[in-house]
Structure 1
Amino acid sequence: ATYDEIIDRKRISYVMADGRQAITDFENVDGKTKVTTTFDAENQNPVEMQKDGWQAILNNFKRYVEG
């Protein structure tokens, strides 16, 4: 991937090798960090499967930072 935007504690944006983009935003909400990832879906797998995969990554990240 090629990172095209990094804003400290706010956003990470990158373009994957196949041209799809993913953006992760970090937002302070009542003293906690809300993490939101948006991504361009690929054409080989159903969108719901892709959402589940990204959600699993975020869940693992949450466990890591809280552990």
Structure 2
Amino acid sequence: MQITVETRVGAPITEVWRAYTTPADIIRWNAASDDWHTTQASVDLRPGGAFSSRMEAKDGSMGFDFAGTYTKVLPQELIEYAFGDRKARVEFMQAPEGVTLRVTFDAETTHTEDQQRAGWQAILDNFARHVERSRQAG
């Protein structure tokens, strides 16, 4: 089963792409809730290149690495990657008021569909807020 989440970002596609693919930015937005954070990220953005994000509870009680390999990269348009035996697709679509970012991923079996959808959606919403705040501050 696949799950799709999406958000709209009020920024040019060049800024959206940069924030999604730059480790310094990923560390700032990649969390589903305020009690989690990403402590490190690496990106080798090319087919066959690896990525990794270390996600941890802020209280130190738990953490995990989200890692995989890019399988297709079309700049400012599409990123596809594999993580474990699962796959994901990230689409960047120009819209009149910014960019629609859509992520479709293979579901896992540990958490319910609703839990997975909510978690990935929360991360995307954090991403949109990060990009829009960065624009206002810049």
Whether TM-score is above 0.5 comes out as: yes
Per the alignment, residue 114 of structure 2 pairs with 48
Count of aligned positions: 66
Identity rate of aligned residues, in percent?
36
Instruction: Give the alignment's Cα RMSD to 1 decimal.
Output: 0.8
Report the residue type matching 1:45 in the other structure: H
Report the residue type matching 2:120 in the other structure: W
Measured after TM superposition, the shift of residue 32 of structure 1 is 1.1
Per the alignment, residue 7 of structure 1 pairs with 74
Report the residue type matching 2:80 in the other structure: S
Q: Return the structure number with greater relative CO, CA threshold 8 A, min gap 6.
A: 2
Larger Rg: 2
* Counterparts of 1:48 and 1:35, CA distance in 2: 19
Per the alignment, residue 99 of structure 2 pairs with 33
TM-score for the superposition, normalised by structure 2: 0.46
Gaps spanning 5+ residues in structure 2: where? Answer: 1-67, 134-138
Structure 1: which 4+ aligned runs deviate by more than 6 Å?
none
TM-score for the superposition, normalised by structure 1: 0.93
Per the alignment, residue 10 of structure 2 pairs with none
Gaps spanning 5+ residues in structure 1: where? Answer: none
Per the alignment, residue 60 of structure 1 pairs with 126
